[in-house]
Amino acid sequence: MATGEIAKVVPREEYRPRRHWGRIFGRQVLPRIVLIAGSIIFILPFYWMVVSALKTNAELTHTPPTLLPGVWAWDNFVKAVNYIPFGLYAFNSLIITLGATIGAVLSNTVVAYGFSRIQWRGRDKLFYLCVGTIFLPYPVVLVALVDTFGKLHWVNTFLPLIVPAFFGNPFYIFLMRQFMLGIPRELSDAARVDGAGELQTFWKVILPLTRPAVTVVALFAAVAAWNDFLGPLLYLHNENTYTLAIGLQFFRSTHDVSYNLLMAASTLVVLPIVILFLFAQRFFIEGITVGGVKG
What mean pLDDT is predicted for residues 20-24?
Answer: 67
* pLDDT greater at residue 68 or residue 148: 148
Name the pTM for this structure.
0.81
| Rounded distance between C-alpha atoms, residue 66 and residue 167, angstroms | 49
Q: What is the pLDDT of residues 82-92, one digit of tens each?
A: 877 888 999 99
Quote the pLDDT of residue 58.
Answer: 82
Q: Is the pLDDT of residue 4 over 60?
A: no
Report percent pLDDT > 70 for the chain: 85
Q: In angstroms, what CA-CA distances link 29 with 32, 34, 107, 170? A: 5, 9, 44, 38
Name the more confident of 234 and 12: 234
CA diameter of the chain? 100
> Per-residue pLDDT averaged across 31-57, rounded?
89
Distance CA 295, CA 283 (A): 19
Segment 116-142, tens digit of pLDDT: 988 889 999 999 999 999 888 888 888
| pLDDT tops 80 at residue 289 | no
Q: Is 224 within 8 Å of 230 (Cβ atoms)?
A: no
The average confidence (pLDDT) of the chain is: 84
Q: What average pLDDT score do residues 53-57 get? A: 87
**pLDDT grade for 288, boundaries at 50, 70 and 90:** low
Q: What is the pLDDT of residues 152-176, one digit of tens each?
A: 999 999 999 999 999 999 999 999 9
What would the DSSP string read from start to end of 41-98? HHHHHHHHHHHHHTS-HHHHT-SSPPSS-SS--THHHHHHHHHTTHHHHHHHHHHHHH
Alpha carbon dihedral 14, 16, 18, 23, in 10-degree steps, equals -140
* Confidence tier at 293 by pLDDT (50, 70, 90): very low
Select from 145, 170, 175, 173 the least CA-distant residue to 159: 145
Give the whole-angstrom CA distance, residue 237 versus residue 64: 41
- Per-residue model confidence as pLDDT tens digits over 215-241: 889 999 999 999 999 999 999 988 899
Identify the band that residue 286 occupies on the pLDDT scale cut at 50, 70 and 90: low
Residue 104 · residue 218 · CB < 8 Å:
yes
The pLDDT, as a whole number, for residue 18 is 59
Q: In whole angstroms, what is the distance from residue 291 CA to residue 175 CA?
A: 6
- Reference 213, options 104, 123, 125, 127; nearest CA is 104
Quick one: average pLDDT of 94-99? Answer: 96
